[in-house]
Amino acid sequence: MNRRWFIAAAIGAAVLVFGLYRRSLTSSHFPPAQSLRVIETVVQHVRNDYLEEVDPRRTMEGAFQGLMAALDPLSSYLDKAAAAKYTSPRREAFNDIGAIVSKKPGAFPLIVGIVEGSPAEKAGILAGDYLSAVDGRSTVGWSLTEIRLAFKDEARTPLKVRVIRENDTREMTVPRAPLYARALSWTEEKGTAGVVRVHHLGKGAAAEFETAVAPRIPVSIEPLVLDLRDCFEGEVEEAVAFANLFLQASAVGAFEKRGGGRETVGCPDAPVVDSASLVVRVNGATMGPAELLAGVLRELAKAKIVGLPTPGFVAKQDLYRLDDGDALLLTTSVFVLPSGEKLLGKGITPDEVVETKVPAPGR
């Protein structure tokens, strides 16, 4: 039964490959029919000649993960448990370990930031470590989304991780915990009109700024600083609402889809902040919606971007359910600024490169 399931799943994978890449296959080294025969031959050799009998489901999960990884860092094959986490209405409140990762195809995830005071920081995980395994499973084929979901859980169940630091491999057991008491924090800083640290762009972040932070911003010729360093999670809609706090425009960009479809994004309401100038701080852990916010503020509010380049994870994904409860998360549109600049894969290049340590949350 397992072998029959394995072959059936392999054929399904081949069909999926052919469906996704049917245009490129016609001009590749192998014509379409031969490509399918090559896949079938590989499956037969694994079934008949590999050293040990394989777990068919685990093997096919790896194949699907590899296929998604060839698309972009955000597209993912999610097993049933990961799909349930992704669609949970409580996901933003899940416990987490607080490690911020970036991902390139075929490489171990790189830890690019650590949330201040998080379990990851207390366990001794450092930015620059490579994450090689989670609960005994290699992460080399995982997408960025799979890694983030693996870190999260409703319970505070500890997570076993293995990291590579220079030539040393370290095993750690890291508990999960809530990461943030609030979305924002405010501090005074000499030479500025204040610093607004944005921890995440989850639901309610813009409203929290309007009610708790905006009244504290003084009228000043000094720049207001929006600190988006290590802001790696959130929603596109919240990033747009946050931009609307600083500017008003019928179009601040658009999401472009395959075939020329276009969804215009606007900030229709009157802004609540009237600042003489705006400085936005970013780094390699400024991701997704935070990158969108930084790009829009630079282009339309003349904000100055300082810090380090961002990774370029600005896109929208759609979830496609499979019969067994697993799911495909596919990137279906990419954000384009009014200038025509696309941020996916490119990110934000700072106007001024400044490398500074992210401070602990303020009051």
- Whether 53 shows a pLDDT value over 80: the answer reads no
| Residue 281 counted as domain residue | yes
119/195 same-domain check: no
Instruction: Identify whether residues 208 and 342 lie together within a single domain.
Output: yes
Residues 151 and 272 in one domain: no
**Reported confidence tier of residue 359, pLDDT bands at 50, 70, 90:** low
Instruction: For 278-291, write each residue's pLDDT tens digit.
Output: 999 999 999 999 99
Host domain of residue 336? 184-315+332-353
Choosing from 174, 192, 226, the residue where a domain stops is 174
pLDDT exceeds cutoff 80 at 361: no
Percent of the chain with pLDDT over 70: 80
Across 143-160, average pLDDT: 94
pLDDT over 50 (residue 7): no
Cα separation, 104 vs 141, in Å, equals 10
User: Do 19 and 122 share a domain, yes or no?
Assistant: no
Instruction: Determine the average pLDDT of the residues in 303-327.
Output: 93
Band of the pLDDT at 3, cuts 50, 70, 90? Answer: very low
Helix ranges, 98-253 (H): 119-123, 144-151, 205-208, 236-244
The CATH number that applies at residue 257 is 3.90.226.10
Which of 55-69, 143-157, 239-253 shows the lowest mean pLDDT across its residues? 55-69
Are 158 and 210 within one domain?
no
Residues 6+ apart with CB under 8 A from 297: 226, 243, 246, 247, 278, 280, 303
In a domain, 362, yes or no: no
The encoded tokens of residue 194 equal 């204040």
Asked if the structure places residue 327 within a domain, the reply is: no
Residue 39: band (very low, low, confident or very high) from pLDDT cuts 50, 70, 90:
low
- At residue 218, the pLDDT reads 87
Tokens describing residue 318: 């759609």
In this prediction, residue 57 has a pLDDT band, given cuts at 50, 70 and 90, of: low
- Split into its structural domains, the chain has a count of 3
Residue 68: per-residue pLDDT: 63
Given this model, what pLDDT does residue 141 score? 84
Decide if 204 is inside a domain: yes
Average pLDDT score over the chain: 85
Per-residue confidence at 219, pLDDT binned at 50, 70, 90? confident
pLDDT-based confidence at residue 10 (cuts at 50, 70, 90) = very low
| Residues 6 or more apart whose Cβ sits within 8 Å of residue 191 | 222
- Are 209 and 342 part of one and the same domain? yes
Tell me, yes or no, whether 340 and 230 share the same domain. yes
Q: Looking at 39-43, 221-225, 288-292, 301-305, which range is the least confident one?
A: 39-43
pLDDT at 2: 44
Model confidence at 195, in pLDDT bands (50, 70, 90)? very high
Quick check: is 225 in a domain?
Answer: yes
Q: What per-residue confidence (pLDDT) applies to 352?
A: 96
Predicted confidence at residue 4, as pLDDT, reads 42
pLDDT of 174 strictly over 80 = yes
Would you say residue 309 has pLDDT above 80? yes
Q: Specify the 3-state DSSP secondary structure of 113.
A: strand
Domain assignment present for residue 41? The answer is: yes
What residue type is 256 in one-letter code? E
Residues 6+ apart with CB under 8 A from 45: none
Residues 224 and 336 in one domain: yes
Do 24 and 168 fall into the same domain?
Answer: no
Q: Please report whether residue 301 resides in a domain.
A: yes
Locus of tokens 């094959």: 77
**Last residue within a domain, chosen from 174, 208, 237:** 174
**Closest to 310 in 3D by CA, of 290, 275, 343, 283:** 283
User: Is 188 in the same domain as 288?
Assistant: yes
For the chain, the straight-line distance linking the first and the last C-alpha, in angstroms and rounded, comes to 60
